[in-house]
């Protein structure tokens, strides 16, 4: 969930200043509101995005903070698990648990549908479904840029990925196979030249000359293809 949310935000804004996953325990070590208040005081943060879920009541504290004016920055929020009630009706069960302790609605107030409604009533931007979350984030971001409240940061080149040590060492010692360029030998030619069975499919590396194979102790049969 955290990876996907960071990806969605990055694709529809100028990036993520900070992201926190509070986990799915029934009693988390920190709450949504703890971090929302930090972001409210952080001038680098212009928009706050929350992805909650069915179960628990932490989202209501954020709704109250927005309603009271304690949080003034635009907040986009969505609680996943709106299908839980439909599943409960279909299976005749009282509640649906989605894999961990925190994702279990013990009352109607803890359902994703109820929490999304409460967030929207407090003035928080809530999409109609998860599929529209990226659209809403893009809209709020565009509005912030248009109003001059947010100056987009320029794109920066991604940091180079470190080379695997074992691979780099093997390459330095000339123990790596050369990049392969493949082509198929005609089966008749392969049979005449290399005495291979006609059924054999013979491939060789186009960019690895025979003298290099011989020099390194490789034969046509043992070369990497």
The DSSP-derived string for the chain is -HHHHHHHHHHSSS--S------S-SS-SS-HHHHHHHHHH-TT---EEEEEESS-SHHHHHHHHHHTTS--S-EEEEEE-TTHHHHHHHHT-S--B-SSTTSB-SSGGGSHHHHHHHHHHTT-B--SSGGGHHHHHHHHHHHHHHTTS--PPPP-PPPPPPPPHHHHHHHHTT-SPPPP-EEEPPHHHHHHHH---TT---EEETTS-HHHHHHTT--TTTS--
> Is position 191 annotated as part of the catalytic site?
no
Please state, in angstroms and as integers, the Cα–Cα distance from residue 105 to each residue in 40, 66, 88, 196, following that order.
29, 24, 11, 68
**Whole-angstrom distance, CA of residue 113 vs CA of residue 136:** 18
Name the catalytic one among 100, 125, 191, 215. 100
**Whole-angstrom distance, CA of residue 36 vs CA of residue 38:** 5
Residues tagged active-site: 100
């Amino acid at each position: 969930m955290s990876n996907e949310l960071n990806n969605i935000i990055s694709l529809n804004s100028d990036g993520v200043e900070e992201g926190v996953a509070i986990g799915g325990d029934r009693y988390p070590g920190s709450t949504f509101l703890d971090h929302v208040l930090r972001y409210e005081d952080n001038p680098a943060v212009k928009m706050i995005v929350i992805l909650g879920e069915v179960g628990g009541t932490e989202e209501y504290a954020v709704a109250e903070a927005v309603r009271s004016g304690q949080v003034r920055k635009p907040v986009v929020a969505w609680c996943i698990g709106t299908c839980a009630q439909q599943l409960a009706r279909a299976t005749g069960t009282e509640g649906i648990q989605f894999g961990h302790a925190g994702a279990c609605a013990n009352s109607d107030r803890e359902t994703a549908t109820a929490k999304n409604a409460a967030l929207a009533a407090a003035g928080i931007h809530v999409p109609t479904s998860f599929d529209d979350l990226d659209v809403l984030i893009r809209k709020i971001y565009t509005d912030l840029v248009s109003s001059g409240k947010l100056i987009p940061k320029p794109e920066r080149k991604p940091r180079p990925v470190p080379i695997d040590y074992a691979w780099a060492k093997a390459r330095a010692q000339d123990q790596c196979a050369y990049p392969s360029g493949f082509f198929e030998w005609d089966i008749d030619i392969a049979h005449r030249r290399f005495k291979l069975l006609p059924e054999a499919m013979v491939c060789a590396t186009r960019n690895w000359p025979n003298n290099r194979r011989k020099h390194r102790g490789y034969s046509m049969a043992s070369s990497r293809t």
